[in-house]
């Protein structure tokens, strides 16, 4: 079944926005420190979301939910983006986009260790395969001798993103997606203001090319992509929409080659295939379980229906007489 044009266009825009993120970070780090880059990026995103909120209208959060919204802002904005910027100083944009897709691997670890969910051997095996793919990407991107341990901060960024999704999943029924995104971005930006000293000087000293890249970074991956992603999730099944995320690394590699002239080694491509393949394999288990449960419920309903029919008394001859 083909997707509607608007939905397909929204999915394509999300992929392009988030694929640009490692490229915009790479350019921004030429003139900005990791903290200043994160703050400037989300000041732009906060202003954009304020305009959207005024146009569409959002409600005020309940006082008891303010700490939760602050936690969302911390994990999704502050921790994720600051360590992402730090780590990408030592990793290429293509490899960064691959390592960012390890979030589902950490989601499995969080589910098992903190949420006490049962995790099958199938999922554990693919977590191990995915982590092996991480090692392949690290080795192939810079080589073991040239690799800096700071590059592993990208895995911390993926872990932070996984925690954000776990928190959002637990509380998402309280507010609309637009409301959650707005307050998450605003809360994170407020906490990022610890990096305010020295920001003005870096903005004035940065070349126009760098500031333009940061402007795009704040408008598209940090704001517009979240709105479009909310639209996608509201118009299609999650299992179908999440598959779009697997397109981000290859698109990011192509964009990095066109914009930055960077090359991607065959080893990084191999590691990307291993990581994405492990994530797909884990998601297939969930889809298969859901289908099995659905079929089981259908069989149970059919059995009940058969029992009801069998228990009805057979029509007597008198019942058919005029």
Q: Which domain covers residue 243, as residue numbers?
A: 5-308
- Is 319 part of any domain? no
Q: How many domains does the chain contain in total? A: 1
Tokens 């065959």 sit at which residue? 266
CA 155 to CA 168: how far, in whole Å? 20
| DSSP sequence for 211-235 | HHHHHHHHHIIIIIHHHHHHHHHHH
Neighbouring residues of 29: CB distance < 8 A, sequence distance ≥ 6: 37, 85, 88, 89
- Is 60 part of any domain? yes
Q: Is the pLDDT of residue 161 over 70?
A: yes
pLDDT of residue 123: 74
The whole-model pTM stands at 0.77
Q: Per residue in 201-249, pLDDT tens?
A: 999 999 999 999 999 999 999 888 878 877 787 677 655 566 677 778 8
- Is 209 part of any domain? yes
Q: Per residue in 46-90, pLDDT tens?
A: 999 999 999 888 888 888 889 988 999 999 899 999 999 998 888
Compute the average pLDDT of residues 118-146. 73
Compute the average pLDDT of residues 242-267. 80
User: Other CB atoms closer than 10 Å to residue 279's CB: what's the count?
Assistant: 25
- Is 314 part of any domain? no
Percent pLDDT > 70 in the chain is: 74
- Is 321 part of any domain? no
- Is 315 part of any domain? no
- Is 157 part of any domain? yes
- Is 313 part of any domain? no
pLDDT of residue 140: 74
Computed over every residue of the chain, the mean pLDDT equals: 78
Q: Is the pLDDT of residue 264 over 80?
A: no
CA 18 to CA 205: how far, in whole Å? 27
């Amino acid at each position: 079944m083909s997707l509607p044009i608007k939905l397909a266009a929204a999915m394509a825009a999300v992929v392009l926005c988030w694929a640009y993120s490692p490229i915009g970070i790479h350019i921004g780090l030429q003139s900005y420190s990791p903290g200043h880059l994160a703050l400037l990026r989300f000041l732009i995103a906060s202003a954009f979301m304020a305009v959207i909120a005024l146009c569409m209208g959002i409600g005020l959060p309940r006082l008891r939910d303010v700490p939760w919204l602050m936690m969302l802002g911390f994990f999704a904005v502050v921790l994720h983006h600051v360590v992402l910027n730090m780590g990408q100083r030592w990793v290429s944009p293509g490899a960064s986009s691959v390592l960012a897709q390890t979030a589902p691997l950490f989601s499995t670890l969080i589910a098992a260790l903190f949420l006490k969910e049962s995790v099958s051997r199938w999922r554990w095996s693919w977590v191990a395969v995915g982590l092996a793919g991480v090692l392949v990407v690290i080795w192939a991107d810079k080589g073991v001798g040239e690799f800096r341990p700071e590059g592993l901060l990208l895995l911390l960024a993926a872990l932070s993103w996984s925690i954000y999704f776990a928190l959002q999943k637990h509380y998402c029924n309280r507010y609309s997606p637009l409301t959650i995104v707005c307050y998450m971005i605003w809360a994170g930006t407020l906490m990022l203001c610890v990096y305010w000293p020295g920001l003005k000087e870096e903005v004035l000293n940065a070349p126009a090319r760098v500031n333009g890249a940061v402007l795009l970074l704040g408008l598209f991956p940090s704001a517009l992509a979240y709105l479009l992603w909310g639209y996608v999730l509201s118009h299609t099944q999650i299992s179908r929409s999440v598959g779009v995320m697997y397109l981000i690394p290859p698109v990011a590699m192509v964009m990095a080659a066109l914009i930055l002239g960077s090359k991607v080694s065959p080893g990084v491509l191999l590691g990307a295939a291993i990581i994405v393949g492990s994530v797909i394999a884990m998601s297939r288990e969930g889809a298969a379980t859901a289908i099995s449960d659905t079929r089981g419920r259908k069989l149970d309903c059919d059995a009940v229906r058969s029992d009801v029919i069998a228990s009805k008394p057979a029509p007597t001859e008198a019942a058919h007489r005029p």
